[in-house]
Amino acid sequence: MTLPQPAEQDSLRQLVDLGVKGDYIIKPPGAKNELRGLEEALNRYFNGMREDFDFAVDWSVYTPFQREVLRVVHKIPYGSLLSYGQVAALAGYPRAARAVGGALGSNRILLVIPCHRVIRGDGTLGGFGSGLEWKARLLALEGNAAGPGGRYSLSRLD
C-alpha cells in the first residue's frame, strides 16, 4: 500500500517499485475479493474515525525475524506508541532495537501493519519509509501530538 500521492500514476509507480502485484499480501477474512472493504476502511481512517484495519496478512513473504517484529507491530492498538526497543523485546529479541527499524522497512502494507506507531525510546519519531511528515500526520490522526521538543509519549507495556 502506498500513502496518497499527487496523482494516481505516482501511486501506481510507487506500488510497482515496491514489487506489489495484483492481490499481493492483503486478504480480508472470508473475502473473495482480497481488497473488498479496504477503500471504505481507508476513507474512515483518513476522515478521523477509529479504524483497526482488520485484514488478514500473508506472513510468508517475510523472513522469520521480520515476521516476529511485524506481528508485534500488527497488534499495537490504535493511538498507542511503542519504541523500537519495546517492539524488539516483545518480539523476543531484546537487544535488536536497531534491527527492528530494518524489519519495519520491509512492511509493504502500511496501516494494516501500523509501523508508524513505532518511535524512538526518547520519544522522537525515528524513521518512516514514506517520510516523517506522513508519520507525524498519521500519529496526529490517531490523537498523538508531539509534546515539548517534538517528543511523543510512549505507551506502557502491561
Q: Which of 81, 87, 88, 115 is catalytic?
A: 115
- Torsion sign, CA atoms 69, 73, 75, 81: positive
Please report where in the chains the cell 474512515 appears, as a residue. Answer: 44
3-state SS class at 67: helix
Q: Do 79 and 45 meet the contact criterion of CB atoms below 8 Å apart?
A: no
Is 66 among the residues known to form the active site? no
Q: Do 76 and 118 meet the contact criterion of CB atoms below 8 Å apart?
A: yes
Q: Which active-site residues does the annotation give?
A: 115
